[in-house]
Amino acid sequence: MAVDAQLKDQIKDMIVERLFLNVAPADIPDAANLMQAYNIDSVNLFEIVVGLEEEFGLTLEDTDFSTETFSTVDNIAAFVDEKRS
C-alpha cells in the first residue's frame, strides 16, 4: 500500500526536530537507513518512539518493536499508516 508523501514529510520533520539533526527534513531520503546515515542510537530511537506516540497519536505495543520498523522513513510511514488503520 502506498503511503502518502505528506505523512513521510511529517515523519521527517519530527525526526529532525526531536533528534536536533543538522539536516533539512527534505534531504532525508525515504529509503535511507536512519541508523547508519544519522548514527541513531538507543537514545535517539527512544525520542522517535515518543514522537510517534505524541505527534501521531499511536500507542506502541511490545510486538511493534523491531529494528526493521524504525530503519527507514518508508518503514516508519508504513508502520504509522498501518497502526492508524
Partner 1 sequence: MLPSHETVAVIPGAVALHAIVHECVEAEHPAWGLLFCDPFAEEKKCAHRVLVEAARIFCEADIGCVRFDYRGTGDSPGEFAAATPERWVEDILAAVEFARQHLRVKTLGLLGLRLGASLALQAANAGGGVDFLVLWEPVINGKQYLAQNLRRSMIKAMLTDDDKFDAGNVRRAHEQDIFDFDGYAISAEMRHQIESLDLLAAEPSFSGPALVVNITAKEQPGEAHQELAEALGGRVIAVRQEPFWARIGLIGAHATVEATEIWLAEQQASGIKGG
> What are the residues binding partner 1 (CB under 8 A)?
17-18, 20, 41-43, 45-47, 49-50, 60, 62-63, 65-67
Q: For residues 82 and 64, is the Cβ–Cβ distance under 8 A?
A: no
List C-alpha distances in Å: 10 to 4, 62, 63. 10, 24, 24
CB of 39 to partner 1, least distance (A): 12
CB of 2 to partner 1, least distance (A): 27
CB of 61 to partner 1, least distance (A): 8
Helix (H, G, I), strand (E, B) or coil at 66: coil
